[in-house]
Amino acid sequence: MTAAVQERWQRRFFTIWTGQAFSLFGSQLVQFALVWWLTETTRSATVLAAAMLVGVLPQVLLGPVIGPLIDRWNRKRVMMTADSLVAFTTLVLALLFASGTVQVWHVYLALLIRSAAGSFHFPALQASTSLIVPEEQLSRVAGLNQMLQGLMNIIAPPAGALLISLLPMQGVLAIDILTAMIAVISLLLIAIPQPERQPGAGSLLAVFWRDLRGGLVYIRDWPGLRGVIVVSMLLNLVIIPPATLVPLMVTNVFGGGAPELAALNSAMGIGVVAGGILLGVWGGFKRRIITGLLAIFIMSLSFLVVGFTPSSLFGIAVAAFFVAGAAQSMANGPVFALLQSVVAPDMQGRVFTLLMSGSALMMPISLAITGPLADRFSVPVMYIAAGLGCLFITIAAVFIPAVMNIETNPQPAVTAAASSAD
């Protein structure tokens, strides 16, 4: 790669990345502020659970159908529209807070719209990355993204708590409007390549359904891709319980309070950042699937350690949470880089939206069974079960040749062009 080519992709990518970093910070602030407002206003676990469900539903319901749109529409405009919609929604909500007329359902609606916008934005950004970043740099870029996510998880909550104490709610929301506009401006400054698409014959609805069917056939006829998506969904199913049971682990097992909870959450967040930095510097193994599966194996051991840690050795649990966070970055990053490198550019919108939808669907299913099982068998048993589940899924994936060879096997005969054919 020549110096000129490297400078060109770096300038374009990091212009987008910087804008999205500001936008992510604003979104995390608003998420924290709105959840805290709901908590203080209602004191209702049902309200908070409903808010979480509202935030997940658009990803589950919209994912399967928006992929064809992202693959056919201009992805830069999709991201700009999504960021602008978030800014406008936040502006309306800020005005409601300023006028003292805000209601709980207003917050629900805002969370719903923001999640729907994110359902378009995330796959459009992931599908655009492979058109900007050279293939050999995708793992490092994925590491940077994981680092950014972890860093925001560390910074945004205390920053949100501080801002809530200093500013009225509309003031906090105004920050998100500003950061969303920064993201839009950063997108305006650069050009994002578009994948080649054959014009669809027939009505818009006919073209849409043809594209949707083509995406499903593309995944169906590629066993390796289908296997990676199924493995990702199953991992989400078993990883969610440890993430949601942290407060009960602190109180029921370690007899701790807010400081101990903060210690575990911080250890996880710092681990995510550390793993992202390591992946960004190292890049992982040449075969990305090996990096991802090895990281999941390490994560499974971390869950097992937490589950077996006696109440008197809280420090071991803190260390295990750090390792789990680092492993999370080292697992997620290579998977995204792998898909960006092997999936046809004009199919990536459909693949990423289906992956997003399937993974999001695992959350309500897992949450529905986590509580009763934790009450029945104890929280440590749930951590042990999650560790064994991750371990089993990892070992099973190793013995599936289609998954292990996804980076070397050719794509299926069904291509993006075929999805647009009559």
- Nearest alpha carbon to residue 47 among 119, 113, 115, 111: 111
Cα–Cα distance, 234 to 395 (Å, whole number) = 13
- Nearest alpha carbon to residue 279 among 291, 296, 269: 291
List the end-to-end C-alpha distance of the chain, in Å, as a whole number.
39
Q: Kindly list the structural domains of the chain, giving each domain's residue range(s) and its CATH number in brackets, ordered by start.
A: 3-420 (1.20.1250.20)
- Nearest alpha carbon to residue 9 among 188, 148, 134: 134
Cα–Cα distance, 160 to 83 (Å, whole number) = 20
| pLDDT at residue 317 in the model | 92
pLDDT digits (tens, 9 = 90+) for 179-213: 999 999 999 988 888 776 665 555 567 777 787 78
Cα–Cα distance, 77 to 194 (Å, whole number) = 11
Is the pLDDT reported for residue 107 higher than 70? Answer: yes
pLDDT digits (tens, 9 = 90+) for 245-294: 777 788 888 887 767 877 887 888 889 889 988 888 888 888 889 999 99
| pLDDT at residue 417 in the model | 44
Half-sphere exposure of 320 (CA within 13 A, CB side): 21
Beta-carbon contacts of 104 under 8 Å, excluding residues fewer than 6 positions away, are: 38, 41, 42, 47
pLDDT digits (tens, 9 = 90+) for 347-392: 888 888 888 888 888 877 887 787 788 778 888 898 999 999 999 9
pLDDT digits (tens, 9 = 90+) for 255-265: 877 678 778 87
Is the pLDDT reported for residue 5 higher than 50? Answer: no
Cα–Cα distance, 247 to 296 (Å, whole number) = 23
Tokens 């510097």 belong to which residue? Answer: 281
